[in-house]
Amino acid sequence: MGALSYLNHINDPADISGLSPSQLGELATECREFLIETILENGGHFAGNLGVVELTVALLAVFDTTSDRIVWDVGHQSYVYKTLTGRRDSLHTIRNYEGISGFPKLGENNADHFGTGHSSTAISAALGMAMAARLKNETGKTHIAIVGDGALSGGMAFEALNNAAALQPNLLIIVNDNQISIDPSTGAINEHLANITNQSSNIFTNLNLAYHGPIDGHDINALLDALHRLKSEQGARVLHVKTIKGKGFPAAEAEQTKWHSTTKYTKISTEKQSALPKWHEVAGDTMFAIASQNQTVVGITPAMPSGSGLVNCFKEMPSQFFDVGIAEQHAVTFAAGLATSGIKPYLFIYSTFLQRGYDQAIHDVALQQLPVVFCIDRAGLVGEDGPTHHGAFDIPMLRCIPNIKLLAPATKTELEAMMQMAQHYPYPLAIRYPKGSIPEWSWDFEADSILDHPGVCLTEGNTTAILSTGHATHLAAEAIKLAPNHAAHYHFPVINPHKPTQLLQLIANNFRHIITIEDGAIKGGFGEALFQDLYALGYKGSIHHLGIPDHFITHGNNRLLYRDCGYSPERISQVLKSLNQ
């Protein structure tokens, strides 16, 4: 990386306002070089940020972050914004433990006006800010929402557009149109955006929103002209900007999905890559095997074919697989509709995004007892993406809903068996599994009767029993190795059997101390459910719950986060030793 004659002198957005258009162009070039070097070395969201370099520079040259409000949607495209708003020297820490967040975050910097880790929220947030300014008679403030074309597939974005058109506040909506989110964008909105060539009739003008564009999002002069002009206007207005995801890095331009995010890169590496299968890959391969043999089975995902391991399914069986866009609520009810007509839908959805379809899971699936299968990916802590993406709440969310059975495999064999069994299960079923590789471990179990035998003894013990589920079972097994001969260990692949079992009665009768461990929220979770059942069985001993505590967990390496949350193998072993002294 060469000398950064402009970037090195940008310590505050105000330092940008005095630069000429040609100097701003040079600054954009330096930002792109700096981003490539920093993210390849340290990891993070990559291609999307390369696509908004010129747009970010132009925004900060025209608008004042101390008075104007800028909201990024979905937020992982804000790295250049962070670089130019006082965080240049800390960008190398992005997404690392105790480093800066990979998303805009209230409190991290005064220029971060709203936290955005989920999609399709920026217009609503910026509209709220604009109306607050109107109510407080604060004139002269512009409120800006930068929205990706993929985010426009989310219904919430259109709810906000509808409301903004009626209220007409000082709101500028910038559509960053690169025809891709993580995977290529799908649906009629995407096709419509691709076909807009001028300011004639389109979806925005039909909603009574002033439309401008489309313009080249990599032409700094065109951006500056448009933004200066729009700054002086009032009302709800749209600027349509065409960009290229991965711009300036040929490999990322050619393979935009692959380069959406990158791990730490070293030019010469002697590290061996793990040959262990990943959870989402096994889920995708199992789905492929099921759908190949059963044409009444379909797969659904809200814009995550690659992240959910379904790329081969979409390629080989396109009529059985549906990418509905970033539209989780629709995805759940779409699956419910399919289930009413003899089709077996498997909905592949990240735990953090299932939260957005919670009402539909209750009202449209569980209430009607429709046999939808929820394949809940990224359950538990997910590391560097942090609190917006941790899958902390799916167990408390689903455990309290009647008619939904919730499963949590700990092995590849269990996941495969659960997914195979699910195609014949006549009620709603949810299978949660984490991010990352599946450890090499297995045990004998009856796949066809897994729902009738929700727990299995893995290790015999004396006075203390560990009860774990899903990925936490591996953490518990590691802990037992650190504190041998102290505890029995029971794995529960079924989280909510809905009634006390004979196994729980045996545990209640034989152990003085019980430790429950889950890779999920303790409040309302697996452990608290077992406590209720054990209490009903007359258990008089001590119970200790380990899992995600009652606060939002920061970003960082999962091993560090497990330690901080108190359920790393080392922390578990400390609890074991304290109970057996």
Residue 254 or 531, more confident: 531
The pTM of this model reads 0.91
For 270, 271, 365, 400, 581, the CA distances from 432, given in Å and listed in that order, are 34, 30, 17, 15, 36
Q: CA–CA separation, 474 vs 286, rounded Å?
A: 22
Domains defined along the chain, listed by start: 10-250 (3.40.50.970), 279-432 (3.40.50.970), 454-579 (3.40.50.920)
State pLDDT tens for residues 430-444. Answer: 999 999 999 887 766
268 — pLDDT class (breaks 50, 70, 90): very low
Q: Taking Cα atoms as reference points, which of 73, 97, 64, 94 lies closest to residue 82?
A: 94
pLDDT for residue 397 is more than 60: yes
271 — pLDDT class (breaks 50, 70, 90): very low
Q: CA–CA separation, 153 vs 354, rounded Å?
A: 16
pLDDT for residue 266 is more than 50: no
Quick one: pLDDT at residue 351? 98
Q: What percent of the chain has pLDDT over 90?
A: 76
Quick one: pLDDT at residue 75? 83
Quick one: pLDDT at residue 269? 40
Q: Which residue has the tokens 């008679």?
A: 137
Quick one: pLDDT at residue 188? 83
Over residues 152-160, mean pLDDT: 92
Active site residues: 245, 328, 356
Quick one: pLDDT at residue 267? 38
Residue 212's DSSP bridge partners are 239
Over residues 560-578, mean pLDDT: 95
Quick one: pLDDT at residue 255? 76
Lowest mean pLDDT among 230-234, 484-488, 527-531: 484-488
pLDDT for residue 135 is more than 60: yes
Residue 15 or 194, more confident: 15
